[in-house]
Amino acid sequence: MRAWQSEGDGSAARRGARLRAFKSLDLPTTLETPRADRASGYGEARAAVMSAAGLYLVGAALTATAVLLPHVGSPAGVAAVGVTATITALLLLIAAKRWHGGLLLAWIAELWGVLLIALLCAASGGAHSPFALIYFFAIGHAAAFQPPTRLAAVSLASAIGFLSPLTYSHVSAMFGAVACVGLVLALLSGGVVHYALHRVRDQRRLLELLINATFQLDGSLDPADTLRRIAGTAVPGLADLCVIDLVERQGALGSTVAAASDPALAVQVERMRSHSPLDGRSDDALTRAIERNESCIIDDVADPPSAARLDHSEEFQRFVQSAGYRSAVVFPMFARGRTHGAISFFHGARRGRYRPHQLAVLEDLSGRAAMALDNARLYADRARVAGTLRRSLMPATLPVIPGVDLASFFRPMGAGDEVGGDFFDVFRHRQGFSLVVGDVCGKGAEAAALTGFLRHTAMAYARKTTSPARVLSQVNQAMLEQNFGGRFATALLVYLEPRQAGFQAQIAGGGHPPALLVRAAGEVEETGDCGTLLGVFDDPGIRDCSVTLMPGDVLALYTDGLSDAHAPARTVSAAEMIRALTRSSPSSSQAAIDTLIELIEPDGARDDIAILSAHVTAVAGSERGSEGTPATLDSAAPRDGLARGQAPAAAAD
């Protein structure tokens, strides 16, 4: 077991920034290439085919000199070889231009070339043929690019071609010596080039895997999905088994995620880890990685003492040995001053031990994985805080208003990890109820503070007057006195007071879109004035608008997040909303909300969307709702919000 020094977070971050520059490259992953060509890239295969075509053209040109040479026994044979070489070269050039064939075509061209050279020598003098020098080109132009088995086949064929002239009669000793030296030099040069290309390919393969892993890790901010992506990027390119053991904030071993070439083995590892707690007293590799931030390499896990140093669990030791794993390396997942866990990579017996350059790549991948997991956890914490803060700015349930069916809808912008400024509320006061929707400039903590101030200030002032315009004017003055740094807000406030023939609604807007009123007979219209923005002017132009709501009427209040959901590409105008409501003729508050939501796409909203709808179901009379009664919502409302992946739509005082 050897210690492996981990690099700091700064180094990993710098490498991550550099590798992002490769996003524009079209790099084939080794997992997608055919088995025979797995060691080479498309560029190498094309170079091999092009070089073969070039040498075929050179050979064809040399055959034209046969008329000047003595001892040419068959001029027709030499000409046939020249024509064949020319045709072969043209076919190879066409294949290379169209990216067909790959290394297999280059390999066939190599063997075919050896045969043509042998025929050319036989037709131009045998052992005395000057074309025997072409044998020096028989190996090297394509064979060096080939996998080992194909290289061996080409080398054998070329060796036979080199030595075949020795079977002729009257072969001079000089020719035999030249043939043997040429054979040795050709094989040696081909082997050296093949080894160098193999090392370059190996480095390129690891770089491609690292780049691909970086792209995969950047593709998710969900912690669970990130863990699966981390393990999946390592198998099978870098390891036969990858195990990620997380540590909880209290220091105990948490969940485990595994990926293996055989999925059943990964499931077995996760099962074993679930009932194998971390032993802080142990000196195994896992404990050292998590508690001491040390990396360890174990060259032979089949050896019992080495297996014991890998993991304190005897069950896991037996599993590793029975599954045939040979070597292992364990790295801590350390990011931003905190160890999130440990990541272990295992090689099977077929791959053997990890080499130094592979360890460097695995260490780099471990650092990136730790940073990706830390980012995902931070994002999850941020989304959780945003959700909690967002829920605190809205009521938990909608109150019961006799004779009125209430429904609401709320969808946070983007992924819901930020707090926007949209809100709604329903509260009781004096002889009636108030409905309010609003939108605060900006997002984040500052917008949340202003949202809370606006909501509670409006609620306090609404208990003292039945005029929504006066309430909004007082809210405007309070905002100016508090000095929210130039932030403004819009709001639409509706006061509902029961009458013998329905409800009397007083509506006032402070820079907000008017409400949509759907009459029982089917007519749809905007009601209420937009008014002046809140928090900007000392004397805003806000006035009350009175309208009577009869049984069957629906009143819908919404924020501009609905109309600007896909702006600037597309906006939903008030006229479009009116046409949609006219066609659907909603008979409930939830039906009105559904009609409005259908006007936008389910994803990609650029702002919060809040809708509050009230449907008059009966003559209210003088009956009053009870304070604190759980919301009697249309059952589709909360289900709709959850089905769309949004926060629950209902809200309450």
Contact 215, 372 (CB under 8 A): no
Look up the CATH superfamily of 219-384.
GAF domain (3.30.450.40)
Given this model, what pLDDT does residue 443 score? 79
Q: Where are the domains of the chain?
A: 33-208, 219-384, 393-643
User: Residue 299 is which amino acid?
Assistant: D
As beta bridge partners, residue 609 has 411
Judged on CB neighbours under 10 Å (0-12, 13-18, 19+), 172 is exposed
Given this model, what pLDDT does residue 274 score? 73
Is it the case that residue 146 has pLDDT exceeding 80? no
How does pLDDT run across 572-588, given as a tens digit for each residue? 999 999 999 999 999 99
Judged by phi (left if over 0) then psi (alpha if -120 to 50, else beta), residue 56 lies in alpha
Distances, alpha carbon 202 to alpha carbons 205, 273, 314, 357, 562, in Å: 5, 33, 35, 9, 54
Alpha carbon distance 553, 573 (integer Å): 22
Higher pLDDT, 347 or 110: 347
Given this model, what pLDDT does residue 24 score? 37
Higher pLDDT, 374 or 197: 374
Give backbone dihedrals phi and psi of 130, rounded to 5 degrees, phi first: -70, -15
Tell me the two tokens of residue 178: 């030249």
529 — pLDDT class (breaks 50, 70, 90): confident
Is it the case that residue 632 has pLDDT exceeding 60? no
Given this model, what pLDDT does residue 552 score? 94
Tell me the two tokens of residue 3: 């210690």
Given this model, what pLDDT does residue 130 score? 64
Tell me the two tokens of residue 159: 């060796």
Higher pLDDT, 523 or 128: 523
Higher pLDDT, 278 or 481: 481
Q: What is the mean pLDDT of residues 559-573?
A: 86
Alpha carbon distance 396, 424 (integer Å): 11
Tell me the two tokens of residue 571: 């906006």
Locate tokens 């070597």: which residue?
327
**Among 158-162, 276-280, 618-622, whose mean pLDDT is lowest?**
618-622
Contact 287, 308 (CB under 8 A): no
Look up the CATH superfamily of 393-643.
PPM-type phosphatase domain (3.60.40.10)
- Among residues of the chain, what percentage have pLDDT more than 90? 21
14 — pLDDT class (breaks 50, 70, 90): very low
Q: Work out the angle at residue 325's Cα, subtended by the Cα atoms of residues 320 and 330, and round it to the nearest 5 degrees.
A: 80
How does pLDDT run across 74-87, given as a tens digit for each residue? 777 778 888 888 89
Distances, alpha carbon 422 to alpha carbons 265, 411, 486, in Å: 49, 10, 18
Alpha carbon distance 49, 368 (integer Å): 38
Q: What is the mean pLDDT of residues 404-419?
A: 79
Dihedral over alpha carbons 278, 283, 287, 292 (to 10 degrees): 140
- Among residues of the chain, what percentage have pLDDT more than 70? 76
Q: What is the pTM of this model?
A: 0.56
Given this model, what pLDDT does residue 504 score? 93
